[in-house]
A and B are shown apart, each in its own frame.
Chain A
Amino acid sequence: MDSKYIIGIIVALIIVVGAYLAFAGGSGEQTTIQVAGSTSVQPVAEKLAQAYMEKNPNVKINVQGGGSSVGITSTQQGQADIGMSSKELKADEKAGLKEYLIGNDGIVIAVNTANPVSDLTTDQVKDIFSGKITSWKDVGGSEAKINVITREDGSGTRNAFEEIIMGKDTKIIKTAIVQSSTEAVAQAVKGDPNAIGFISLASLSSDVKALQINGAAPSEQTVLDGSYKVQRPFLFLTKGDATGTVKDFIDFCLSPEGQNIVKSEKVVPAK
């Protein structure tokens, strides 16, 4: 019977200590910042939050995804302290929100390295992805059917691509192959001489050929000076002007140190 008592005491101790550890985190002088929104901005924001929390141990920053629209509405409704958006805000979305630009991301229209086409206009890209142009011959390539590769519905890169290139009324053709990540799109384009897809500038590699759009090749430079048109801003949103810890965090993101982190994530810094 003795051993049973001992086991009982040990179990009780574990429960008490466990409960203490679980709840201790919530007490004390800790401020929590809720960040929510675009899944494209999320990795950068997570890195920034991590660096900030290392310097300020009493601040806890929760970064959640959900998409740009979630970022906008949850900031307006006050559920999130900072909203993340990877698209420009429309006039009616801007109501009461303050925008902080933390970086810019280019979207690369990628084709196979064996493809002779190296330059397209935004209209041509639009017609290709909407299924109006179906042969490479129509855009100066060889006589071959164009295989369109896109991302899944909800992807931040796809949303941005749709907004910049496709506009409101045109949709990406239904028979386009759907790949679940930027890497998978790059692999699919790498393996198919007739494929076209879009990937984030951050993940561009020599596996695929980046097309010039309206004569401008995608690079950090052209994104920064605006000559490469297919780009999107990475925005932090706050309800009214940022104050207190939230302001301190955003200032950190815009500081040279924060912008270096942005750059290390291969996003073009805002400044």
Chain B
Amino acid sequence: MTKYEEFLIEKGLFITAILSIIVILLIIGFIFKEGLPAMESYGFLNFIFGMDWSPSDGQYGVFTMIIGSIGITLLSLLFAVPLSLLCAIFLAEIAPKTMKRILKPVIETLAGIPSVVYGFFGLIILVPFMRVQFGGTGFSMLTASLILTVMILPTIISISEDALKSVPHEYKEASLALGATHWQTIKNVLFPAAIPGIITAIILGMGRAVGETLAVIMVAGNVTQIPNSIFDPVRALTSNIALEMGYATGLHYNALFATGIILFIMIIILLVIANYFHYKKKVVIGGGYL
């Protein structure tokens, strides 16, 4: 009877484990089923490299939005990565206990704020501020990236802090024993050893930035154009889907799913790059690695 129970539990665990895979396969299947017709009838290259998105005239080119998504994401990483890595180093190595006790919950709260609140804050405070400071309308790639920066900070900080903390203590002791200063130890020993984890942190942050929709809709301006500068409004791929899903029928509807396919492919590429670096940069010691 115990054997029978063992069998049941094993299979039960297997089913729960495979459930997530089934769900993701179903979603992928659905997106491709709905999106591919649009790509076929409009032409794959026309769809990706088309500059004109105007569903009422039957124009479905998403190139401006690919640029928009990439631009917003890269710009926010440019702000967020240095900030959050320094913050993580501070938290893991330098901060006194009491300070840590305050900082940690604050950063976690930052991650818990709903994105619509960030978006509304951006629309009410940041957009008028940017207009006064830099002219234009205030809706811009830069405004969106600034909001996203704050949104992805907690992700990158907490994961890279964990990575720094999980570097074996012996490394630090050995480095300090050899006469290196604390900063030298951080820079030359701890940081390089934690690199795979830090890259994972950055990629997860990047994933959140690419996928963020609501906050971006509210502050990016959603204009389908290639931005001339970071002060120009842009539209992200996610915003495009959310903006028009409510009205879309027929080919327009399929084109929005096709936008989802492009988004999906972008995320896959990011994940592949991340895994590559994670694997390549790992520090091998003895039989295992960090």
A interface list, Cβ under 8 A from B: 39, 65-67, 70, 147, 152-155, 174-180, 184, 187-188, 191-192, 195
On chain A, the residues within 8 Å of B225 by CB distance are 174-175
Question: Do residues B139 and A177 form an inter-chain contact, with CB atoms below 8 A?
Answer: yes
Q: Which of B124, B137, B222 lies in contact with A180, CB distance below 8 A?
A: B222
Closest-CB distance, B271 to chain A (whole angstroms) = 29
Asked whether, in the complex, the Cβ of B131 is within 8 Å of the Cβ of A192, the reply is yes
A155 (CB) vs chain B CBs: closest residue: B247
A192 to B139, CA, bound (A): 11
- In the complex the two chains form, is B56's CB within 8 Å of A188's CB? no
Cα–Cα distance between A180 and B235 once the two chains are bound (Å): 12
B217 at the interface (CB under 8 A from A): yes
Within 8 A of A (CB), among B82-138: 123-124, 127-128, 131, 137-138
Please choose the segment from B21-29, B162-170, B238-246 that sits at the chain A interface, where 4 or more of its residues have CB less than 8 A away: B238-246
Are A152 and B139 within 8 A (Cβ)? Answer: no
Known: A39-B247, A174-B223. A191 touches B242 (CB 8 A): no
Q: Which residues of B contact A178 (CB under 8 A)?
A: 221-223, 235, 243
Instruction: Give the most central of B54, B55, B128, B137: most A CB within 10 Å.
Output: B137
Q: Does B176 sit within 8 A of A, measured CB to CB?
A: no
Q: Which of B210-233 contact A (CB under 8 A)?
A: 217-218, 221-225, 233
Asked if B188 lies at the interface with its beta carbon under 8 angstroms from chain A, I say no
- Establish whether residues A70 and B128, one from each chain, have CB atoms under 8 Å apart when the complex forms: no
B181 within 8 A of A: no
* Nearest-neighbor residue (CB-CB) of B232 within chain A: A175
Centre residue among B223, B247, B248, B249 by max chain A CB count within 10 A:
B247
Is B249's CB under 8 angstroms from A177's CB? no
Question: Interface size class for chain B?
Answer: 20 to 34
Chain B CB within 10 A, most for which of A66, A67, A174, A188: A188
Question: Which listed residue, B54, B124, B221, B247, touches A191 by the CB 8 Å rule?
Answer: B124
User: When A and B form their complex, which 8 residue pairs have the shortest distance between CB atoms, in order from nearest?
Assistant: A154-B247, A178-B222, A152-B243, A191-B128, A177-B221, A147-B137, A177-B139, A153-B55
| Cα distance, A178 to B139, chains bound together (Å) | 10
Chain A residues lying within 8 Å of B131, measured Cβ to Cβ, are 191-192
**Could you jot down 26 A-B contacts, CB within 8 Å?**
A39-B246, A66-B247, A67-B247, A67-B249, A147-B137, A152-B222, A152-B244, A153-B54, A153-B55, A153-B244, A154-B244, A175-B233, A176-B223, A177-B139, A177-B222, A177-B233, A178-B223, A178-B235, A179-B218, A180-B222, A188-B139, A191-B123, A191-B124, A191-B138, A192-B127, A192-B137
Question: How long is the Cα–Cα vector from A80 to B128 in the complex, in angstroms?
Answer: 45
Inside 8 A of A187's CB, which chain B residues have their CB? Answer: 123-124
How many Å from the CB of B235 to the closest CB on chain A? 7
Contacts of A191 in B (CB 8 A): 123-124, 127-128, 131, 138
Q: How far is the CB of B41 from chain A (nearest CB, A)?
A: 19
Q: Which residues of B contact A192 (CB under 8 A)?
A: 127-128, 131, 137-138
Residue numbers in A under 8 Å from B246 (CB-CB)? 39, 65, 154
Select from chain B the residue with minimum beta-carbon distance to A173.
Answer: B223
Measured between beta carbons, the chain B residues less than 8 angstroms from A39 are 246-247
The residue in chain A whose Cβ has the minimal distance to the Cβ of B136 is A147
| Closest partner residue, chain B, to A174 (CB atom) | B225
Expressed in whole angstroms, the minimum distance between the Cβ of B9 and any Cβ of chain A is 14
Give chain B residues whose Cβ lies under 8 Å from the Cβ of A174: 223-225
Asked if B247 and A195 make an inter-chain contact with CB atoms under 8 angstroms apart, the answer reads no
Partner of A177, one of B124, B137, B243: B137
* List of B residues within 8 angstroms of A65 by Cβ: 246-247
B244 with A177: CB separation less than 8 A? no
By the criterion CB–CB under 8 Å, are A154 and B248 in contact? Answer: yes
List the A side residues contacting B248 at CB < 8 Å: 154
B residues less than 8 Å from A188 (CB atoms) = 123, 127, 139
Residue in B55, B123, B138, B223 whose CB lies within 8 Å of A154: B55
A67 partner residues in chain B, CB cutoff 8 A = 247, 249
A66 to B252, CA, bound (A): 12
| Least CB separation from B218: chain A residue | A184
- The interface residues of chain B lying within 8 Å CB-to-CB of A70 are 249
| Cα–Cα distance between A178 and B54 once the two chains are bound (Å) | 13
Residue of A nearest to B56 (CB): A153
Q: Which residue of B lies closest to A67 (CB)?
A: B247
Q: What's the Cα separation between A166 and B217 when bound, in Å?
A: 25
B97 to chain A minimum Cβ distance, whole angstroms, is 43
Residue in chain B with minimal CB distance to A42? B246
Determine the residue in chain A with the shortest Cβ distance to B217.
A180
Chain B minimum-CB-distance residue to A69: B249
A174 to B54 CA separation, bound complex (whole angstroms): 10
Enumerate chain A residues within 8 angstroms of B247, measured Cβ to Cβ: 39, 65-67, 152-155
B123/A177 in contact, CB under 8 A: no
Task: For the complex, give the distance between the alpha carbons of A180 and B116 in Å.
Answer: 13
* Additional pairs, 7, CB under 8 Å, beyond known A39-B247, A154-B56, A178-B243: A65-B247, A153-B54, A154-B252, A174-B224, A175-B233, A178-B221, A187-B124
CA–CA, A65 and B127, complex, Å: 32
